[in-house]
Amino acid sequence: MAVMTEPSLSDAAIARIAAGLLDRSLPKAEWTHAGHFAAALWLLRWQQGFDGPRDLPAIIRAYNEATGGVNSDSEGYHETITLASIRAASAALADGAGAPLSEILATLLAGPLGRSDWPLGYWHEDTLFSVAARRDWVEPDRAALPF
């Protein structure tokens, strides 16, 4: 998979993506690799009482269903990728220490996490795409996460 080539997102666009995810109005075409990280960053920084590992799975599942998707053993919500992405977004926020979300997102996507296949640096493909990893957290089996 290629490095992220989507245009940079403004802070307003990031907020709109997060709001659209929450109210399930985000067009499916905007639920991209960058959109996933944009929503996570906004929710982690601005959503009162938000706990990523606790709250984001239900938000994503509901959004998938509202946009005609399914959450099954082969498509839709993926627990391991979601929880790893939350860790990555949390680390990017900490590294950005108060910078605008647009800058944090741009920095995150300019690095290795800009590739939608970034988890394959930490999990073997058969592990990452297993039913077990889709349903529950599975520890990386290729390399430890750096965040």
Q: Within 13 Å of residue 93, how many CA atoms lie on the same side as its CB? A: 17
pLDDT in tens, 47-100: 999 999 999 999 999 999 999 999 999 999 999 999 999 999 999 999 998 899
What Å distances lie between residue 125 and 69, 75, 80, 102, 145, CA to CA?
A: 23, 15, 12, 31, 16
Does the pLDDT value for residue 7 go beyond 70? Answer: no
pLDDT above 70 as % of the chain: 95
Query: Global pTM?
Result: 0.93
The yes-or-no verdict on residue 105 having pLDDT over 90 is yes
What is the per-residue pLDDT for 33? 96
Phi/psi at 40 (5° precision): -60, -45
- pLDDT above 50: residue 3: no
**107-120: per-residue pLDDT in tens?**
999 999 999 999 99
Predicted confidence band of residue 18 (pLDDT cuts 50, 70, 90): very high
* Average pLDDT for 26-42: 97
Based on the number of CB atoms within 10 Å of its own CB, is 4 exposed (0-12), middle (13-18) or buried (19 or more)?
A: buried
